[in-house]
Amino acid sequence: MDIAGYRFITWLVGVESLIGVALLLYTHYFKLEMLEKYFENNEIVQLNKQRWPGNRPMDKALRMGQISCFLTFPKSYIRLGDVSEKEIASVPLSLKRWVIWPELFWLQIFMWMGIRYVLYAL
Protein backbone atom coordinates (compact mmCIF):
# COMPACT_ATOMS: atom_id res chain seq x y z
CA MET A 1 0.00 0.00 0.00
CA ASP A 2 1.07 3.57 -0.45
CA ILE A 3 2.34 5.96 2.19
CA ALA A 4 -0.37 8.55 1.41
CA GLY A 5 -3.11 6.18 2.58
CA TYR A 6 -1.16 5.41 5.74
CA ARG A 7 -0.70 9.10 6.50
CA PHE A 8 -4.36 9.85 5.78
CA ILE A 9 -5.62 7.14 8.14
CA THR A 10 -3.12 8.26 10.81
CA TRP A 11 -4.26 11.87 10.43
CA LEU A 12 -7.92 10.80 10.53
CA VAL A 13 -7.40 8.81 13.74
CA GLY A 14 -5.58 11.74 15.33
CA VAL A 15 -8.30 14.26 14.50
CA GLU A 16 -11.07 11.88 15.53
CA SER A 17 -9.28 11.21 18.83
CA LEU A 18 -9.18 14.93 19.63
CA ILE A 19 -12.86 15.28 18.78
CA GLY A 20 -13.67 12.14 20.77
CA VAL A 21 -11.89 13.43 23.89
CA ALA A 22 -13.71 16.76 23.58
CA LEU A 23 -17.07 14.99 23.26
CA LEU A 24 -16.40 12.76 26.24
CA LEU A 25 -15.31 15.65 28.44
CA TYR A 26 -18.35 17.67 27.42
CA THR A 27 -20.76 14.85 28.21
CA HIS A 28 -19.04 14.09 31.52
CA TYR A 29 -19.04 17.68 32.73
CA PHE A 30 -22.30 19.02 31.29
CA LYS A 31 -24.66 16.07 30.70
CA LEU A 32 -23.91 13.66 33.58
CA GLU A 33 -25.91 15.52 36.22
CA MET A 34 -28.92 15.76 33.90
CA LEU A 35 -28.71 12.02 33.25
CA GLU A 36 -28.41 11.14 36.91
CA LYS A 37 -31.68 12.98 37.61
CA TYR A 38 -33.52 10.46 35.41
CA PHE A 39 -32.05 7.58 37.45
CA GLU A 40 -32.66 8.95 40.97
CA ASN A 41 -34.49 5.79 42.05
CA ASN A 42 -32.01 3.39 40.47
CA GLU A 43 -30.00 1.49 43.04
CA ILE A 44 -26.96 0.90 40.83
CA VAL A 45 -26.62 4.52 39.73
CA GLN A 46 -26.95 5.73 43.32
CA LEU A 47 -24.35 3.19 44.47
CA ASN A 48 -21.95 4.43 41.79
CA LYS A 49 -22.64 8.00 42.89
CA GLN A 50 -21.68 7.09 46.44
CA ARG A 51 -18.63 5.10 45.36
CA TRP A 52 -17.35 7.82 42.97
CA PRO A 53 -18.63 11.11 44.45
CA GLY A 54 -15.89 13.43 43.21
CA ASN A 55 -15.61 15.75 40.25
CA ARG A 56 -12.40 14.28 38.91
CA PRO A 57 -12.53 13.07 35.31
CA MET A 58 -12.13 9.46 36.45
CA ASP A 59 -15.06 9.72 38.88
CA LYS A 60 -17.30 11.21 36.23
CA ALA A 61 -16.20 8.67 33.63
CA LEU A 62 -16.99 5.74 35.93
CA ARG A 63 -20.42 7.12 36.77
CA MET A 64 -21.16 7.89 33.12
CA GLY A 65 -19.97 4.44 32.09
CA GLN A 66 -22.78 2.64 33.86
CA ILE A 67 -25.45 4.97 32.54
CA SER A 68 -24.08 4.72 29.02
CA CYS A 69 -24.21 0.92 29.24
CA PHE A 70 -27.85 1.17 30.31
CA LEU A 71 -28.65 3.35 27.31
CA THR A 72 -26.53 1.45 24.79
CA PHE A 73 -27.77 -2.03 25.73
CA PRO A 74 -31.16 -1.41 27.38
CA LYS A 75 -32.70 -4.84 26.77
CA SER A 76 -29.84 -6.66 28.47
CA TYR A 77 -29.99 -4.50 31.58
CA ILE A 78 -33.78 -4.58 31.72
CA ARG A 79 -33.65 -8.39 31.57
CA LEU A 80 -31.09 -8.42 34.40
CA GLY A 81 -33.31 -6.11 36.44
CA ASP A 82 -30.67 -3.40 36.80
CA VAL A 83 -32.86 -0.76 35.17
CA SER A 84 -36.53 -0.48 34.28
CA GLU A 85 -38.08 0.29 30.91
CA LYS A 86 -39.72 3.31 32.50
CA GLU A 87 -36.33 4.77 33.49
CA ILE A 88 -34.90 4.21 30.02
CA ALA A 89 -37.98 5.69 28.35
CA SER A 90 -37.86 8.78 30.60
CA VAL A 91 -34.50 9.88 29.18
CA PRO A 92 -35.04 12.23 26.21
CA LEU A 93 -33.68 11.13 22.84
CA SER A 94 -31.36 14.13 22.55
CA LEU A 95 -29.72 13.24 25.88
CA LYS A 96 -29.40 9.59 24.84
CA ARG A 97 -27.58 10.73 21.72
CA TRP A 98 -25.07 12.73 23.78
CA VAL A 99 -24.26 9.56 25.68
CA ILE A 100 -24.19 7.02 22.85
CA TRP A 101 -22.53 8.99 20.05
CA PRO A 102 -19.14 9.54 21.75
CA GLU A 103 -18.96 5.79 22.36
CA LEU A 104 -19.73 5.06 18.71
CA PHE A 105 -17.17 7.69 17.74
CA TRP A 106 -14.49 5.85 19.74
CA LEU A 107 -15.57 2.57 18.20
CA GLN A 108 -15.01 4.14 14.77
CA ILE A 109 -11.55 5.32 15.85
CA PHE A 110 -10.55 1.79 16.88
CA MET A 111 -11.98 0.45 13.64
CA TRP A 112 -9.75 2.84 11.62
CA MET A 113 -6.74 1.81 13.72
CA GLY A 114 -7.50 -1.84 12.94
CA ILE A 115 -7.85 -1.09 9.24
CA ARG A 116 -4.54 0.75 9.27
CA TYR A 117 -2.89 -2.20 11.00
CA VAL A 118 -4.33 -4.75 8.58
CA LEU A 119 -3.47 -2.73 5.47
CA TYR A 120 -0.03 -1.47 6.40
CA ALA A 121 1.49 -3.61 9.16
CA LEU A 122 0.73 -7.08 7.85
Q: pLDDT per residue over 71-99, tens digit each?
A: 999 999 999 999 999 999 999 999 999 99
Half-sphere exposure of 59 toward its Cβ, with a 13 Å CA cutoff?
A: 11
Rounded to whole angstroms, how far apart are CA atoms 72 and 118? Answer: 28
Instruction: Give φ, ψ of 105 to 5 degrees.
Output: -65, -45
Q: Map out the domains of the chain as residue ranges.
A: 3-120
CA dihedral 11, 15, 18, 24 (to 10 degrees): -120
pTM of the predicted protein model: 0.81
Rounded to whole angstroms, how far apart are CA atoms 34 and 92? Answer: 10
Task: Check: CB of residue 6 under 8 Å from CB of residue 120.
Answer: yes
Q: Which residues of 29-45 are buried (b: 16+ CB within 10 A; e: fewer)?
A: eebbeebbebbeebebb
pLDDT, tens digit (0-9, with 9 covering 90-100), for 8-55: 888 988 998 999 999 999 999 999 999 999 999 999 999 999 999 988
